[in-house]
Chains A and B, each alone.
Chain A
């Protein structure tokens, strides 16, 4: 069953900790994205990647880091430099950044700072 999987569904972080959110897809898509969603807000782009070992900053990349070592995986690390990390994080993929088709989203990870 093809799709995009995010884990964990809920994540709690202590002040000053780094945490990593997992995103895996088996759709053979080249492009992958990370978005952040706050209550009553749209999705804001954090990072995106078109191919393995390459990624670009989105609109709100400060305090986040990513890697793209494998085509199917695009983990997001929320670092201690991110001052307000509590949010709903969504990972997405699409066939290719240059071919406009729909994006497929995971079910999201809700991160809470405790």
Chain B
């Protein structure tokens, strides 16, 4: 069955450093991969989408890479700030009986200390 793994449950870094989060998947070749941010007690908020034919996508301090050979995506936050502390989820579109649905990893909780 398809599986999505995010490398660690928690990541602690110092303010100003670059945070790198990993998402690995197996038994599937998604056309798209998405990253979301979730704050405690709230719904996830979309950050970035990257397509299989795109190697890299950037948005302000965020950068996502997508390596379909390694079946891996890396999510980077540069010049991290305490306000970046949250849980980050990766999601893949998986073909189902009727169209596709987003399937999520368990997330990585990032803590940025000042």
Contacts and interface: CB of A to CB of B under 8 A. Distances in A.
Indicate, yes or no, whether A interacts with B.
yes
Interface of A: 31, 33, 35, 40-45, 48, 50, 54, 56, 58, 88, 90, 92, 94, 96-98, 100-108, 110
B79 interface: no
A23 to B, nearest CB: 11
Sorted from nearest, which 7 A-B pairs have the closest CB atoms? A97-B99, A105-B43, A102-B46, A42-B106, A43-B104, A42-B104, A100-B32
B31 A100 contact: yes
Nearest to B46: A102
Interface of B: 4, 9, 31-32, 34, 41-46, 49, 51, 89, 91, 93, 96-107
Contacts of B97: 56
A33 B100 CA distance: 11
Contact of A97 (B4, B34, B100, B106): B100
Given A33-B102, A42-B106, A100 B93 contact: yes
A54 B96 CA distance: 14
B104 A58 contact: no
A58 B34 contact: no
Contacts of B106: 40-42
27 contacts: A42-B4, A42-B105, A42-B107, A43-B89, A48-B96, A48-B98, A48-B99, A50-B99, A56-B96, A56-B97, A56-B98, A58-B96, A90-B43, A90-B44, A96-B99, A97-B99, A97-B101, A98-B99, A98-B100, A100-B31, A100-B32, A100-B51, A100-B93, A101-B49, A104-B46, A107-B43, A110-B41
A105 B96 contact: no
